Structure 1
Amino acid sequence: MSRRAPRSRNNRKITRLLTCFLAVTVVVAGTVLPAGAASAAAPVAAPAATTVSNAVSQIVGDPAASGIVKSTLVGFNPGNIISDAVFTNKSTMTEAQIQAFFNSKVSRCLGGTDENGKPIVCLKDFKITSVTRPADQYCSGYSGAANESAARIIYRVSQACNINPQVLIVMLQKEQGLITHTWPSAWRYNIALGQGCPDTAPCDPNYIGFFHQIYGAARQMQIYMEGRWFQWYAPGKTWNILYNPNANCGSSPVYVANKATSALYYYTPYQPNAAALRAGYGTGDGCSAYGNRNFYNYFTDWFGSTQGIKYPDGPIVNVGKDIYAISNGTAYHITADVWPEYKAAYGNPEATVNAHIASLGQGGAASLFLRDRSSGTVAYLNGGKTHRFASCDLVAKWKGSCASLTTFDSDDFTRPGSGPEMTTRANVRGDTRIFAIEGNDLVPYQNAAAMSSWGQNASLYAATMPATHLAKFSVRPTRFVPGQLITVAGSDRVFLPSSDGQLIYVPVFGNVTSLGLSTNVLKSVPTPWIAQYPGRANLGRYVECNSATYFTAGGMLYRTPSSGGFVSVTPDSRTCALLKVGDDAAGPLFVRATNDTAVYVADGGTFRHVANQSTLAALRGTGPTRLVSLAPADLATLPKGAPIRTDIGLVTTAGDGRVYLADAGRLIYLSSWTTADDLGLPRAAVTISDAVAASIPRAGTVSNVVSCNSVVYSAKAGVFTRVGDPTGLTPMVLSADNCATLPLR
């Protein structure tokens, strides 16, 4: 009662070893009425000798190798093994999905040759030349082609004969184990489904070969379901169906509910007994048959319900931790970065199974850029709503593309409802800043107030951009509210950020109040906010605004010709615009304490006491004296230098750039710094007003022979030596004040 594939003599020696792997199949003539039928119409001649196999062995191949651990068949109904709708659903898998399924079941094919010396080729790699078959009432025909893969043949046959390709895949497994077999002999392909192979005669040569097996079996299923030639398992009636080819094993009445189930019984006219059902994929007892049981096992484990249980409509479903958006037969994988937006729009996912996802087209990763399949509207998913893009140019500004969108049917697209239209404003989840898209850059603003202060419309809708999307842009320095002081997370150092990339350190708050800025500090700014601030500077008493230098005091700016040797900082233009100018004249600037008449001027990085009125006049020039009064404590914080005098020592003017020795109301020209070195004078000169200098008479050239208090000295490298006999010398006569500064002996 069983049909075995041809084996060599050597192979027969290992038959027992292969029992748990190989199919032991029984074929029954299609026109033979099975014993024990309760009722049936009289059989009529079939259109051809169409007999197929019936597996009664436990299983073909090893269940463990297939990753199958089923132990019970709860839900198996012998009268409704598979619904007509599922059996004839030819759209469950594409050719590519079939091939991917084959690839997943055999990671490595052993190769080599079989017992007959034929090459061993696994199903995932199997190819053959197909044959042209004419169209008829059961199939639409087939145009033969060379070198077609098993996946392609199964897909094309399923389309031609309106049979679910999953049905053919399951039949291949239960008959010859070809789906999971890693070393299939060539003869398995020739009789892959047992089509046309009765156990009472050799296989019909018209059905030998993989293509003939697939096409013939699929066509035969349509003949079975037609009900014209095969009527003894006709649906809608109760039939006594055997448990085993051995009639002594008995039978039981089964109400056959549909055409697909009747077709399976024509193909395999036995139902599993209680022992077979208890065994899952295992062995029952001597009266067990396994063909229809294994069909049910494989189908439900690989592809889900045989009854076409309605899968969740979605559009959001999950398989374990993996979440998908589903619309119009396409599944898009929802990644963690976009999931919050999908959840806000569509709620929690409905659970489904891998078979559901595998049966759909694969759209790749879901994005937040959606398209309405019907209207073509493109929108962004954000805050539980869709937000329309006015143009594809705006999509591109958001680093999306109208050529690559997550496409939803209208009912899924419109379900969340619509919100404001998209703009060039963006938020980033977990970041309180507002971003403006400018070309390839994202410009972050501290808040709406900062954006408004920069002349930007802060009222425009700002959609939330996933953090992973942020990497597609270059991020510019954060633009804070002008004049805003900050501290960075993890530090108590105070900074004044400048939009040009400077982070200006504030060593003392007095320098902030001298500028007139608020001492309110935005604390613990996240480090990424200032990551684009490479520049560093210290805030002192001098700033550069509008190309001018200012001394800061009492919340006012006072213009000076220079910073007096101090380092000045340049705030951005908007911070400068906040500052108040108390005096914008161009002349020299002097300071003093409010309770003191002593006047100071910045020179060489210190504030030097102006020694006398003549020095003040020389430094001031012909204009009015610009004098800023400071609180005594404020003046005390300024670094002090040596007193400054212009009636003695070296001076210079901005006008001619020459250096002079000032002495008793005259200017003596210094022709060389070497002469100054001989006299022990520093190589530094105090700048005096051009106008004042013009009013002072010139008096020759500085010499290293000097007369002080009627004594003549010769100077060399700062050493003064008395000249005993000055005959023939013309010494430079200096005032007592200048002489007092020289190291005479």
Structure 2
Amino acid sequence: MKTTLAGFNAGNIISDAVFTNKSTMTEAQIQSFFNGKVARCLGGRDENNEPIVCLKDFRMNTVSRPGDAYCSGYSGAANESAARIIYRVAQACNINPQVLIVMLQKEQGLITHTWPSAWRYRIALGQGCPDTAPCDPNYIGFFHQIYGAARQMQIYMEGRWFQWYAPGRTWNILYNPKASCGSSPVAVANKATSALYYYTPYQPNAAALRAGYGTGDGCSAYGNRNFYNYFTDWFGSTQGIKRPDGPIVNVGKDIYAITNGTAYHITADVWGQYKAAFGDPAPTTNDHIGSLRQGGAATLFLQDASTLTVSYLSDGKTHRFPTCDLVASWGSNCNALTKFDSDDFRRPGAGPEMTVRAKMAGDARVFVIEGKDLVPYGTAAAATAWGQNPSLYAATMTPGGASKYRAIPTRFVPGEFITIAGSTRVYLPTSDGELHYVSSFDFATHLGLPVKVTKNVAATAVAQHRTTTDLSRFVSCDGRVYFAAGGTLWRVASSGGFGVAAVDARTCALLRIGNDTASPLFVNGAGDSAIHMATGGVFRHVANPATLTALNGPGAVRVVTLAAADMAAQPKGAMLRADIGFVVTPGDGRVYLADAGRLIYLNSWLRADDLGLPRQAVAISDAAGAAMPKAGTVTTVVRCNGVLHSAAAGKLTIITDPRGVAITELSPANCATLKLPTR
């Protein structure tokens, strides 16, 4: 505690900025302050048999007060604590809550009192209680005292109704209520000091100043002396805080960078980087901020006001931009920078030079700026695989900065598999944003990809990916469809009804192409001459050489040989014949009845229904179709083994006269597929 008041200035007891800084304490901080001043309340009953309650535990029901030119008003509430009342009144009346706290102490000792009588709360601040008359009943009660005193201070500072201690003039101010104790001239410097004199119209004499907190002489008055003592002991200087050693300050929750005569508001998006570079802020006042040029929102793009060096603030250092083009790549420009004076600019120290590489807080990926795209790489190995230099510096980009770019799917090592955190499912990711589910690593073996898995990839890393087709033996590269077998790809004219996984160019480049000529897919098992064709999502045994020729067309037949076990595992369908029954070619699109090396046109599936044949057609090559002559149109009168039959609704009847209907001559092979009547 003070024994002298060496810094006391009767004309400037407290500055206007400190007196009206309502943001110095939160409600919780006020409550904590009260708790720290009274470790144990004695309780019990006072001299009037009323309960003794210490300030830290005091609660009451408040009433509503209308807003006016001095305070914004108050909405009454039940069971409010003293801390809450003080905080709310401070906000409503633009008074520093520390001022109200100090006044409670100097008037009734309520901050430190361990057994305060109830009457102390009723006249807590002496508001409406002159030294020479009873208290005004309108101000009785703790809430009325706090609200009334705070509002009265604003009335005093307005200077409209109270002018005899007006700032900017010298006034003779008494030492004591006894006029015989005398007075001395005081040059009142500001409104806050004049308000204190309106409230307590005495200055401390020399004896009071020498005594510190103690007793002076018979002419001493202690109100304004004690206000100064308690405030400076508990809260620091009454004149505000001078500019701190570093450039970062705060007014309540608002944080600013003050440099080069300008205040820049530091938002939450960039605060982490400023804190890493400059440390915690030092408190200042709104008046201090208001006295400076307003630079708007602080950015991470700093410029030395003397050297014009442009740098980015990241990881506690400044990082120089070699060109303004790179500044533009990072979403800013050399005409929109936060200008620091040289001392502040150099304070964090210089780090590595800026590049197009970036990182994000809480994200393991590395990002690369590519024009308007921000391309993420899942791992350092992925970045290297895509030609990025892992030794280049990656500065931390803010979420706000990242939002300026187009989001691109994460790039992984081409051809490598991943699992997503929280799941055991394996996927093949592609650079174009696909995730192909891998039901078996057999597919990787057939495609010739190494079975290498990056596990537990964050879900956010694949948020831009689409889960589409499962990985299969049929893949599409640049629109071309291939069948994979034993690490080699064979180009096919059709997937035969099997699913096709569209693979990006980077992955396709890893695959070995065995034959890049499109042809029908025929396979057999090792050591087995039986040939199968992929059609309708199954493999069907090709019945005979004629069918094979019809399906393949002129030229050599390509058969891909699979391991015996692999062939046995493939889904199988019914035997496939193209030398009989209905066929269709892709180029023509019309359906024909194949019969003894010729094609008979089927002009309606109704004719098939009449013959009792299924509405199914086997696809044969255009070349095979072109090689077979056309032989009329299928009719409802057919000749089988020299006997005429009339067909209707699947039933065939022997006739002797075709009655003007053209006769369709059928080979024994086709006749064998009909339900011919017996003689």
Fold shared, TM-score > 0.5 on shorter chain: yes
In the alignment, which residue of structure 2 is the partner of 1:349?
A: 280
In the alignment, which residue of structure 2 is the partner of 1:166?
A: none
Residue 77 in 1 paired to residue 77 in 2?
Answer: no
SS in 1 for 2:468: strand
CA contact (8 A) 1:482 1:575 kept: yes
Residue 733 in 1 paired to residue 660 in 2?
Answer: no
Residue deviations 1:583-609, cap 9 Å, x none? 112333311111211101112222111
Q: Which moved more, 1:633-642 or 1:551-560?
A: 633-642
Cα distance in 2 for partners of 1:109, 1:302 equals 30
CA contact (8 A) 1:276 1:289 kept: no
Residue 122 in 1 paired to residue 56 in 2?
Answer: no
Structure whose CA Rg is larger: 1
CA contact (8 A) 1:304 1:355 kept: no
Cα distance in 1 for partners of 2:283, 2:153 equals 34
- Choose from 515, 529, 535 the match for 1:603: 535
In the alignment, which residue of structure 1 is the partner of 2:458?
A: 526
Residue 517 in 1 paired to residue 449 in 2?
Answer: yes
Cα distance in 1 for partners of 2:178, 2:7 equals 21
- Choose from 595, 599, 602 the match for 1:663: 595
The answer to which structure, 1 or 2, has the higher relative contact order (CA under 8 A, 6+ apart) is 1
Residue 368 in 1 paired to residue 300 in 2?
Answer: yes
In the alignment, which residue of structure 1 is the partner of 2:168?
A: 218
Q: Which moved more, 1:639-648 or 1:305-314?
A: 305-314
CA contact (8 A) 1:109 1:122 kept: no
Compared CA separation, residues 304 and 402, structure 1 to 2 (3 A): farther
Describe how 1:420-435 pairs up with structure 2 within 5 A: 420-435=352-367
- Choose from 526, 533, 544 the match for 1:612: 544
Describe how 1:57-206 pairs up with structure 2 within 5 A: 74-75=1-2, 77-82=4-9, 121-122=69-70, 180-181=150-151, 189=159, 192-195=162-165
- Choose from 476, 489, 500 the match for 1:544: 476
Residue 742 in 1 paired to residue 665 in 2?
Answer: no
In the alignment, which residue of structure 2 is the partner of 1:463?
A: 395
CA contact (8 A) 1:452 1:458 kept: yes
Compared CA separation, residues 376 and 245, structure 1 to 2 (3 A): farther
Runs of at least 5 residues in structure 2 that lack an aligned partner in the other structure? 27-63, 74-93, 95-129, 131-146
Runs of at least 5 residues in structure 1 that lack an aligned partner in the other structure? 1-73, 112-119, 126-150, 152-174, 196-212, 225-232, 234-240, 252-257
CA contact (8 A) 1:272 1:293 kept: no
In the alignment, which residue of structure 1 is the partner of 2:205?
A: 271
Q: What is the CA distance between 1:744 and its match in structure 2?
A: 3.1
CA contact (8 A) 1:324 1:334 kept: yes
In the alignment, which residue of structure 1 is the partner of 2:645?
A: 713
Residue deviations 1:239-293, cap 9 Å, x none? xx96664668x99xxxxxx999xx99x996633877998999xx99986524642
Compared CA separation, residues 381 and 670, structure 1 to 2 (3 A): same
Identity %: 53
Cα distance in 1 for partners of 2:223, 2:486 equals 98
Describe how 1:368-517 pairs up with structure 2 within 5 A: 368-400=300-332, 405-454=337-386, 459-517=391-449
Q: What is the CA distance between 1:406 and its match in structure 2?
A: 3.9
Q: What is the CA distance between 1:579 and its match in structure 2?
A: 1.1
Aligned residue pairs total 561
- Report the residue type matching 1:717 in the other structure: A
Cα distance in 1 for partners of 2:644, 2:265 equals 100
CA contact (8 A) 1:379 1:386 kept: yes
Cα distance in 2 for partners of 1:612, 1:400 equals 72
Cα distance in 2 for partners of 1:124, 1:303 equals 26
- Report the residue type matching 1:218 in the other structure: G
- Choose from 607, 610, 619 the match for 1:687: 619
SS in 1 for 2:508: helix
Normalised to the residue count of structure 1, the TM-score between the two structures is 0.63
Compared CA separation, residues 549 and 191, structure 1 to 2 (3 A): closer
SS in 2 for 1:586: strand
Compared CA separation, residues 276 and 620, structure 1 to 2 (3 A): same
Superposed CA RMSD in Å reads 4.9
Describe how 1:533-612 pairs up with structure 2 within 5 A: 533-534=465-466, 536-612=468-544
Q: What is the CA distance between 1:386 and its match in structure 2?
A: 0.5
Q: What is the CA distance between 1:694 and its match in structure 2?
A: 4.3
Q: What is the CA distance between 1:619 and its match in structure 2?
A: 2.0
Q: What is the CA distance between 1:691 and its match in structure 2?
A: 4.3
Residue deviations 1:209-252, cap 9 Å, x none? xxxx4xxx42549xx9xxxxxxxx9xxxxxxx96664668x99x
Compared CA separation, residues 524 and 721, structure 1 to 2 (3 A): farther
Compared CA separation, residues 269 and 613, structure 1 to 2 (3 A): closer
SS in 1 for 2:159: helix
